[in-house]
């Protein structure tokens, strides 16, 4: 069944939204308390990571730990990911997206990441050759996402079993300690891959340009 087109123009900016520069970044969606974000930014000082978390309690825990550790290449954002991505990110800006152990939405399959119209918009923000890492402890979730990549999104991917000693997130540690099978799909955007949002500029970018034009006209 075809996925309807995402209505990006209807997305309002998050509260207290702050624009970012159009420079290469990595983005973690649903960063939780920030365990992976802090690890990644510490291990990859040459990469800038923006870690987005919607839940206030988890965001504050991540922010607190970030203040302690002090990685200058990590930016934490308290926002719902969908409107933040629409307003903040530029086309082909992102080197890597991380979506680690998202809510499996057992009662609402349409809200799973690869079933959402928004996934097309997310792909438009990814660089050619860039990747999306999607991890889950639910085999059916991974199997469905894999099928969507084949049938709908037509994207190459690698499926990997996550090592038993991996400890990227608090959820990952818990699931692996229980002996659960944790897997990930590493999805790549090939050269020449196109979406309907490749020319869609951030709404904040449009408004800035409009203000600049008005200033020049005076």
Task: Report residue 28: phi and psi, to 5°.
Answer: -110, 125
DSSP secondary structure string for all residues of 31-47:
-TTSHHHHHHHHH-TTS
In this structure, is the dihedral angle defined by the CA atoms of residues 144, 148, 151 and 157, taken in order, positive or negative? negative
Alpha carbons 157 and 27: distance in angstroms, whole number: 19
In whole angstroms, what is the distance from residue 203 CA to residue 110 CA?
26
| pLDDT tens-digit readout, 130-164 | 999 999 999 999 999 999 999 999 999 999 999 99
The two three-digit tokens of residue 211, written as one number: 């203000």
Which residue from 148, 149, 136, 151 is spatially nearest to 106, judged by alpha carbons?
A: 136
Residue 214 has pLDDT above 60, yes or no: no
Round the average pLDDT of the chain to a whole number and report it: 92
| pLDDT reported for residue 195 | 96
Instruction: Give me 131's structure tokens.
Output: 């990747």
Q: Is the pLDDT of residue 211 over 60?
A: no
What pTM does this model have?
0.91
Q: How confident is the model at residue 208 (pLDDT cuts 50, 70, 90)?
A: very low
> In this model, does residue 85 exceed pLDDT 70?
yes
Under the banding of pLDDT at 50, 70 and 90, the label for residue 213 is very low
Superfamily grouping for domain 22-217: Vaccinia Virus protein VP39 (3.40.50.150)
Q: Is 184 exposed, middle or buried (0-12, 13-18, 19+ CB in 10 A)?
A: buried
Extents of the domains making up the chain: 22-217
**Which residues lie closer than 8 Å to 147 by C-beta, 6 or more apart?**
none
Residue 3 Ramachandran class (φ > 0 left, ψ -120 to 50 alpha, else beta):
beta
Q: Write down the pLDDT at residue 5.
A: 87
Helices (H), 29-137: 35-43, 56-69, 81-88, 118-124
pLDDT in tens, 162-181: 999 999 999 999 999 999 99
Per-residue model confidence as pLDDT tens digits over 15-71: 889 999 999 999 999 999 999 999 999 999 999 999 999 999 999 999 999 999 999
Give residue 218's Cα distance to chain centre: 40
Structure tokens at 79: 């926002």
Q: State the pLDDT confidence band at 9, using cuts at 50, 70 and 90.
A: confident
Q: Rounded to whole angstroms, how far apart are CA atoms 39 and 169?
A: 9
């Amino acid at each position: 069944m075809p996925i309807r087109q995402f209505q990006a123009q209807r997305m309002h900016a998050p509260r207290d939204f702050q624009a970012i520069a159009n420079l290469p970044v990595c983005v973690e969606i649903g960063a939780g308390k920030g365990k992976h974000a802090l690890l990644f930014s510490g291990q990859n000082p040459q990469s800038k990571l923006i870690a987005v978390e919607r839940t206030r309690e988890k965001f504050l825990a991540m922010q607190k730990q970030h203040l302690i550790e002090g990685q200058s290449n990590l930016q934490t954002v308290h926002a719902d990911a969908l409107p933040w991505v629409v307003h903040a990110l530029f086309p082909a800006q992102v080197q890597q997206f991380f979506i680690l152990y998202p809510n499996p939405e057992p009662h609402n399959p349409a809200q799973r990441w690869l079933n959402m119209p928004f996934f097309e918009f997310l792909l438009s923000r990814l660089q050619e050759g860039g990747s999306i890492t999607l991890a889950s402890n639910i085999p059916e979730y991974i199997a469905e996402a894999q099928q969507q990549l084949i049938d709908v999104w037509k994207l190459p991917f690698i499926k990997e079993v996550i090592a038993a000693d991996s400890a990227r997130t608090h959820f990952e540690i818990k699931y692996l300690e229980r002996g659960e099978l944790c897997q990930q799909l590493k999805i790549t955007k090939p050269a020449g891959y196109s979406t309907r949002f490749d020319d869609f500029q951030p709404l904040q970018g449009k408004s800035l340009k409009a203000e600049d034009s008005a200033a020049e006209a005076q």
